[in-house]
A and B are shown apart, each in its own frame.
Chain A
Amino acid sequence: MEYEEIVHRCFRCGFCKFTENYQDFNCPSYLKFGLDTYAAGGRMWLINAWLKKEIKTSRHYAEILYSCVTCGNCKEHCVFTFKEDLLNIFEAAKAELVNTGLIPPSVRDYLNAITKIGNPYKIVQNKRGKWAEGSGIQIFSDQEYLFYVGDVGSCEERGEKMARFVGTLLAEAGLSIGIMGNKERSDGNDVKVLGENGLFLKLAEDNIRNFRENGVKKIITLDPHAFNAFTKEYPKLGGNFEVWHYTQILSTLMKDKKISLSEYKVKVTYHDPCYLGRHNNVYNAPREILKCIPGLELVEMNRNKKNAFCCGGGGGNFFTDILGAGEESPGRIRIRDALDTGAEILAVACPICSKMLDDAVKSEGLEEKIKVQDIAEIVNAARRNPTQHLVESV
């Protein structure tokens, strides 16, 4: 296995489980189950045991590996020099399982759907751009930016709304954007972290070819997971594009006063998506957007930025649901974090976080106290002349 020479170096000291100041455990799968095997140190020791043939491949071993949400908290807080490779080690261990075919059924179904249909929702490809109908957003031809929305933005109701908000805002602020529509393919980020490297390679190569053939030079992503794949993985395969997450572009537009705003008195807290924050160090842009809105009060959760607690949807768990539901599920814990701030709105910048946390609000029965909204949706609500069809659709 790749990284085999590192695995035994884990001391299982547990720094990786915490935030920087140790206020609480910050590993979602560990908090869900409360067993050390579900934390990074546990995985390291189990992978080492598996390599030494002290434990066998089993359904439970696979569940433990696949319960990792790849939030990167362990990588952030591990005290050892090999910390940069922690997630790579877990990915390599999952790749070994993929090679043997012994993966959890929900992981298998996810990968099969992507392989056969091109998306995990099993939605036929010619409906992929349906979310943009009536929004005025054009198919990419020679626009400056490709607006890439990804699987969740294309196929899931809440994600589609978010895509419409973001796309419309960008377009109405005068940005030249186009979408791939039916030609858009899965970015493959979660396929890769689930250990299916072959499928990821195919998706990435297809996307790179597609982007090149269509003359794409600059990309704005809706989804931080796609942003991560495009900025970190695609260049290794020759896919060098100028890639932005939409919050980075929107913050510039806001600062340049391309969007006129009214006073919007509301208390908001912001949830850092792992693939935007810890994985790519984008912490300020979303906050700058919110701070531009007159009257809006931005408050921070105790766990924020590099100590943010994951919604539980990363590492493919949004689709595979290895972590499952319950009071100690990451989304519900995160909603309670948000509630503690007294905020009325939990702002998000990722379609996966949006769905996970909105579901968690319902599970906690907090619909009357707090709502989950994407940053673009909040900006739209604060606009002098909010886009009417978007307001109605919420």
Chain B
Amino acid sequence: MIDFYKSLVEIVGEGHVSNQAEELYFYARDSGLMPIHKPPDYVVAPKTTQEVQKIVELANEKKIPLVPMGGGMSLAGLINPLKGGIVIDMKRMRNILGVNEKARYVIVEGGVSQGALGAYLERNYPNLRHSAVEAPPATTIASSVVIHGQGRLTQQYGFTSDMVSGLEVVLPTGEICRIGSCAMSPDWFSKGPTLPDLSGLFLGWLGTTGIITKVGLKLYPKKKIRDVEMFVTDKADLIPDILFNLTHTEMVEDILIGSQSGIHFDPPMFKGYHYVTLYITGDTDDELEFKRKMVWDSLKEFRENKDGGFMWVLPMIKPGLLEAPQKWITRTLADDKKGGGFTYSGPIVLIEKYPLFAKRLEEVGDKHKLDYAGLARVIGRGHAMMFGFGFPFNRVDSDLMDRVRKALHELIVFAFNQGGIPWKPNIEEQKMAMERMDPNTLKIMMMIKKNLDPNGIMNPGNWEVE
């Protein structure tokens, strides 16, 4: 395979390709709890679409698997090669290619990070924003859209993949393909409509149908002022109504619901409470206060019945809540056990299921003697929610890691049984989803995959029927 290595070096240059034990070790795993399968044989870091294309052509020729990688922070093992091959680390492709201010979209290369886009907009287009995610800043825009990510604007505008306004994709057979208005126009304002929406061939496929090398992403108005409110209740049963009322106002930017056992606090002072964190924005104090009043009024009945109330957000914690991403989440969860470990599974479910999910998380957490965090986010105007079952762990505590794995398995089975669908599904969840899926739906999926990737080289093992 010396020739193959040399071929990769010819494509991306010395230093940006490796078949050394160190890279093969690192790129065989992510920070989550998914098992290691077959480490990659090579790791490459291309700089251009043309380099990606050449790598794909080479991989096709030799029938070597390809695993595209962005920030690698799904925690679901989606970048862990299942059948070896080449991991393509996309983060050297980090040019922001342009913004259409009036049409509110940006075009970025496939390795542009969430953090870099946020900083770029802040500096150059302070009246525009994208739906920044809660994951660490190295998470790429392309990986967010490919896993149907969620961010600060998800309650208003849906999944990050709903915000795509165009794609450039290197197909599994090596062709460079444009999707959306950019397929026939210099403008990247629509991912599909009024044409057949081909973006669905790539969004949600976890890199099994092509490698995204450019993304057009919708931007949204950025208000000058942003504030946070926190409504607390110990009655999980009321959360669906609380969320219904809040979303009815159409005044809220983002809505997160948190519950937890005793993470970071001893005694567990937050256990049994549900914290609805909601964000409001405005260009003026008047606008902000009007929205605040609407929000407070929408929960009047709960306040008057003493079912819950708005808590004073301490000045010392407010900046952390307003950050994007919120560093304290990573710091608190991943270092709670002093072991660099945190993982979660976040099925998408109906909001009315919140009480059941919160209860089940508590039961399973207690059963396995685990600290837990429930992290939920409203999607659309209450059309669904992501309910994350989160657990910190310690990488040197194998017993704890086993208990976390068992708890997650029980919870995801519960979520499926409650009519939920998996978000960024790991290999186990994909299998469970395909088992439950309408056979004809699965048939279409496999047909699409087979036709786009005849050699089966794209992230093989994922969305795959054994």
Compute how far the CA of A15 lies from the CA of B115 in the bound complex, rounded to whole angstroms: 10
Binds A, one of B119-127, B192-200, B297-305, B405-413: B119-127
* Contact A14 B21, beta carbon cutoff 8 Å: no
Binds A, one of B54-62, B165-173, B327-335, B372-380: B327-335
* Contact A79 B331, beta carbon cutoff 8 Å: yes
Compute how far the CA of A21 lies from the CA of B334 in the bound complex, rounded to whole angstroms: 21
User: Does any Cβ of B come within 8 Å of A13's Cβ?
Assistant: yes
Residue of A nearest to B23 (CB): A37
User: Does any Cβ of B come within 8 Å of A388's Cβ?
Assistant: no
- Nearest CB of B to A21, in Å: 5
Whether A58 touches B21, Cβ cut-off 8 Å, given contacts A22-B119, A33-B16, is yes
Compute how far the CA of A9 lies from the CA of B340 in the bound complex, rounded to whole angstroms: 4
User: Does any Cβ of B come within 8 Å of A218's Cβ?
Assistant: no
- Nearest CB of A to B29, in Å: 9
* Contact A35 B31, beta carbon cutoff 8 Å: no
Residue of A nearest to B340 (CB): A9
* Contact A60 B119, beta carbon cutoff 8 Å: no
* Contact B122 A21, beta carbon cutoff 8 Å: yes
Whether A45 touches B92, Cβ cut-off 8 Å, given contacts A11-B341, A23-B116, A24-B116, is no
Compute how far the CA of A15 lies from the CA of B334 in the bound complex, rounded to whole angstroms: 13
By a CB distance below 8 angstroms, the chain B residues around A19 are 119
Whether A34 touches B137, Cβ cut-off 8 Å, given contacts A8-B395, A21-B122, A58-B22, is no
Compute how far the CA of A61 lies from the CA of B24 in the bound complex, rounded to whole angstroms: 12
User: Does any Cβ of B come within 8 Å of A114's Cβ?
Assistant: no
User: Does any Cβ of A come within 8 Å of B89's Cβ?
Assistant: yes
Q: Out of B31, B43, B92, B396, which one reaches A13, CB within 8 Å?
A: B31
* Contact B138 A18, beta carbon cutoff 8 Å: yes
User: Does any Cβ of B come within 8 Å of A100's Cβ?
Assistant: no
Q: B105-145 CB contact bits vs A (8 Å, 1 = yes)? A: 00000000111101110110000000000001110000000
Compute how far the CA of A33 lies from the CA of B23 in the bound complex, rounded to whole angstroms: 12
* Contact A14 B138, beta carbon cutoff 8 Å: yes
By a CB distance below 8 angstroms, the chain B residues around A32 are 15
Q: B73-109 CB contact bits vs A (8 Å, 1 = yes)? A: 1000000000000000101101000000000000000
* Contact A14 B342, beta carbon cutoff 8 Å: no
- Nearest CB of A to B236, in Å: 29
Q: A60-71 CB contact bits vs B (8 Å, 1 = yes)? A: 110010000000
- Nearest CB of B to A27, in Å: 11
Q: Out of A12, A37, A80, which one reaches B331, CB within 8 Å?
A: A80
By a CB distance below 8 angstroms, the chain A residues around B25 are 45-46, 49, 54-55
Q: Out of A12, A21, A23, A35, which one reaches B45, CB within 8 Å?
A: A35
* Contact B136 A13, beta carbon cutoff 8 Å: yes
* Contact B396 A21, beta carbon cutoff 8 Å: no
User: Does any Cβ of A come within 8 Å of B174's Cβ?
Assistant: no
Q: Out of B15, B94, B114, B116, which one reaches A33, CB within 8 Å?
A: B15
* Contact A36 B27, beta carbon cutoff 8 Å: yes
* Contact B26 A37, beta carbon cutoff 8 Å: yes
Whether A11 touches B335, Cβ cut-off 8 Å, given contacts A21-B122, A55-B25, is yes
User: Does any Cβ of B come within 8 Å of A192's Cβ?
Assistant: no
Q: Nearest 6 A-B pairs (CB), nearest first?
A: A22-B115, A14-B138, A34-B45, A23-B119, A11-B334, A13-B136
Q: What are 29 A-B pairs with beta-carbon distances under 8 A?
A: A8-B340, A8-B396, A9-B338, A9-B395, A11-B335, A11-B341, A11-B342, A13-B31, A14-B138, A15-B327, A15-B330, A22-B118, A23-B123, A24-B116, A25-B91, A32-B15, A34-B16, A34-B47, A35-B23, A37-B22, A42-B26, A55-B22, A58-B20, A60-B21, A61-B21, A61-B22, A79-B327, A80-B331, A81-B331
Using a CB–CB cutoff of 8 Å, the interface residues on chain A facing chain B are 8-15, 17-19, 21-25, 32-37, 42, 45-46, 49, 54-56, 58, 60-61, 64, 79-82, 302, 324, 326
Known interface pairs A12-B31, A81-B331; 19 further A-B residue pairs with C-beta atoms within 8 A, sorted by A's residue number = A9-B339, A11-B334, A13-B138, A14-B73, A14-B136, A14-B138, A21-B115, A21-B119, A21-B122, A22-B115, A22-B116, A25-B91, A33-B16, A33-B45, A37-B23, A37-B26, A49-B25, A60-B22, A80-B331
